[in-house]
Amino acid sequence: MTAESLFAECIIPGCKQPVTDELTPCQTCRTIFGPMLHEADRPPSYTAADLAERDAGTAAA
Ligand SMILES: [Zn+2]
């Protein structure tokens, strides 16, 4: 197991809170966004790498 997998970041853009399971929101975001967040009963159509690519442009701006 790598440190990266141990400390995956929250899925919410701009949030850097560590989460135990990648592609999930952290507890803070669950509290803030509550009803707007929905658990999907299917595998996500994206991966952590996809999200990193998506966020790279925003982070660079
Ligand atoms: Zn978060």
Model confidence pLDDT, tens digit, residues 15-50: 889 998 888 889 898 898 887 877 767 777 778 888
Q: How far is the CA of 28 from the centre of ligand 1 (A)?
A: 6
Would you say residue 5 has pLDDT above 70? no
Please state the φ and ψ torsions of residue 18, each to the nearest 5 degrees: -75, 145
Would you say residue 2 has pLDDT above 60? no
Cβ < 5 A residues, ion ligand 1 = 10, 12, 15, 17, 26, 29
Q: Give the closest residue to 16 by CA, choosing from 60, 55, 57.
A: 55
Q: Which residues pair with 9 in a beta bridge?
A: 18
Would you say residue 52 has pLDDT above 80? yes
Q: How far is the CA of 14 from the centre of ligand 1 (A)?
A: 8
pLDDT for res 6:
59
Q: Which residues contact 30 (CB under 8 A, 6 or more apart)?
A: 37
Q: The whole model's pTM is what?
A: 0.52
pLDDT for res 9:
87
Q: How far is the CA of 41 from the centre of ligand 1 (A)?
A: 20
In this structure, what token pair is assigned to residue 7? Answer: 């400390």
CA distance 14 to 26: 12
